């Protein structure tokens, strides 16, 4: 088996998973054997640094332990969602009601949380606000679904006219813009300008958040 920096290079990986709890540690309080749980891309972190204390464990100062190809606390390499079993700290397990279809829960663990988290963090769950969604793929369609649930006015941007039917009639977006259409983009920008200050320069901090530095 090829090893590089202690990691397995021929590992068939899966970064998100739903599981049936088989065993629980003596200090675990939130779960019991038989529970259905979802696990994202992290199985452990230091849980004590500034980032962990602010719910940003993926930026853990001491290094997060990923669901796959991560070096666990006992020195073993995590195997991901295709392994027979996986050990996860309860902080990174999310209970799924046993009667809820697991196939429906799976998209929430990756595409779902990827768009849901920033929407909540930046107060994009207030009815009446405008949301622009670029692309209608795995993440984009989840953003539209959450936006509808939050009561937002949603504009989908896409290079493909074939996405229009799905965006407007299936998912319920308010507007659809072909991103290569200049005049359509200008009109959409006017809508955004009514709610947000425009910025001429952006920089990113360690958390991946874009921040304006000039107007």
In the predicted structure, residue 189 carries a pLDDT above the cut 80: no
Query: What token pair was written down for 139?
Result: 């993440």
Which domains are present in the chain? 3-108 (3.90.180.10), 112-214 (3.40.50.720)
How much is the pLDDT for 40? 86
Read off the pLDDT of residues 108-121 as tens digits, 9 standing for 90 and up.
Answer: 888 898 899 889 98
Read off the pLDDT of residues 16-61 as tens digits, 9 standing for 90 and up.
Answer: 788 889 999 999 989 999 999 988 889 999 999 999 999 889 899 9
In the predicted structure, residue 2 carries a pLDDT above the cut 60: no
Q: How far is CA 83 from CA 17, 79, 86, 98, 100, in A?
A: 10, 6, 7, 21, 23
Q: What is the mean pLDDT of the chain?
A: 82
Query: What token pair was written down for 104?
Result: 């429906």
In the predicted structure, residue 95 carries a pLDDT above the cut 70: yes
Average pLDDT over residues 4-26: 69
Read off the pLDDT of residues 191-214 as tens digits, 9 standing for 90 and up.
Answer: 554 555 444 344 455 555 555 444
Distance CA 83, CA 76 (A): 13
Q: How far is CA 86 from CA 66, 77, 95, in A?
A: 11, 10, 16
Q: How far is CA 61 from CA 38, 39, 53, 64, 209, in A?
A: 24, 21, 11, 8, 17
Read off the pLDDT of residues 80-91 as tens digits, 9 standing for 90 and up.
Answer: 878 888 899 999
Contact assessment for residue 176 and residue 194, using Cβ atoms and an 8 Å cutoff: no
């Amino acid at each position: 088996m090829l090893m590089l920096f202690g990691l397995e290079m021929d590992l068939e990986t899966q970064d998100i998973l739903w599981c049936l709890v088989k065993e629980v540690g003596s200090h675990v309080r939130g779960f019991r054997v038989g529970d259905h749980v979802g696990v994202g891309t992290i199985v452990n972190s230091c849980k004590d640094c500034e980032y962990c204390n602010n719910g940003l464990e993926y930026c853990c100062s001491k290094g997060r332990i990923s669901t796959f190809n991560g070096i666990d606390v006992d020195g073993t390499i995590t195997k991901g969602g295709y392994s027979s079993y996986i050990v996860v700290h309860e902080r990174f397990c999310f209970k799924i009601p046993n009667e809820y279809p697991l196939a429906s829960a799976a998209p929430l663990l990756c595409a779902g949380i990827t768009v849901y988290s920033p929407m909540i963090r930046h107060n994009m769950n207030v009815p009446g606000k405008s949301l622009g969604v670029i692309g209608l793929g795995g993440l984009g369609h989840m953003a539209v679904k959450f936006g509808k649930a939050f009561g937002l006015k949603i504009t989908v941007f896409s290079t493909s006219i074939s996405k229009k039917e799905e965006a407007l009639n299936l998912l319920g977006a308010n507007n659809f813009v072909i991103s290569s259409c200049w005049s359509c983009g200008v009109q959409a920008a006017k809508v955004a300008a009514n709610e947000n200050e425009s910025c001429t320069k952006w920089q990113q901090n360690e958390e991946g958040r874009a921040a304006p530095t000039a107007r």
